[in-house]
Amino acid sequence: MSLTARIAENLATVRKRIAVACGRANRDPTEVTMVAVTKYAEIEWIEALLTLGELELGENRPQQLAARAALFSDTVHWHLIGHLQRNKADLAVRHAALVHSVDSPRLLAAIEMEAASTGRMVRVLLEVNLSGEKQKHGFDKDELEATFDTLHGHPHVAIEGLMTMAAYADDPEAARPTFRELRTLRDRLQPRCPEGVELRRLSMGMSGDFEPAIEEGATLVRIGSALWEGLPAATS
């Protein structure tokens, strides 16, 4: 089987699983955007995915995102899904269509400063650490609720929703309470948003748990290993 055929088969399987999960939740599959995580993908794998019409790609590291954005056309929508340090904010501002991982007021301020200097409007999600794992980044839930009203004073930053990562577990259902908690948190925060601001995006769910995430309201799922299954050295 050719490389493109293998990726096409994996992609079709993921798309079917997304559609089935949406059916269980009485949702339209067009409400869910799949972000193909290319962290460990070879360049030819990405090229094959693009020939299949997939343009939403996600990178964990801003340096790699910038390097790969330079290799492909502007039609690709790059998502920064990994941790962003303030001193790398310029890379995210220049290259990311959506930053999923804003985890502090100081990072928001750094993004605003870089965006203002270039005249860009940067779309972001607020990352929330709901699993309580110390190795994960993100706002503490109580911290976010306490500071939320102060986060909207940045004219070059558009807050569009929330992101979280569930704790790893063999059973995807173990992640469901985390995803439900993010949706509930979004619903509590939405009435506090300034006029015109909608927290319509929920980034949650990866290859191992994206189906319960969709059933709990995910609008963005971050899929890596399920797309690259069966390819040599596929480790994402």
C-alpha triplet 82, 119, 102: angle, nearest 5°: 20
* Strand residues in 1-156 grouped as ranges (E): 33-37, 56-59, 77-80, 98-102, 122-127
Tell whether 35 is covered by a domain: yes
Structure tokens at 212: 């319960």
pLDDT at 131: 85
Tell whether 167 is covered by a domain: yes
Tell whether 236 is covered by a domain: no
Structure tokens at 215: 């059933």
Q: How far apart are CA 2 and CA 90, in angstroms?
A: 38
How many separate domains does the chain show?
Answer: 1
pLDDT at 233: 64
Tell whether 32 is covered by a domain: yes
pLDDT 10s digits, 180-201: 999 999 999 999 999 999 999 9
pTM assigned to the model: 0.95
Tell whether 171 is covered by a domain: yes
| Closest of 60, 58, 36, 39 to residue 48, by C-alpha | 36
Write the CATH number for 182. Answer: 3.20.20.10
Tell whether 51 is covered by a domain: yes
Tell whether 234 is covered by a domain: no
- Which parts of the chain register pLDDT below 70? 233-236
pLDDT at 76: 96
| Closest of 201, 192, 198, 196 to residue 221, by C-alpha | 201
Domain that holds residue 144: 3-228
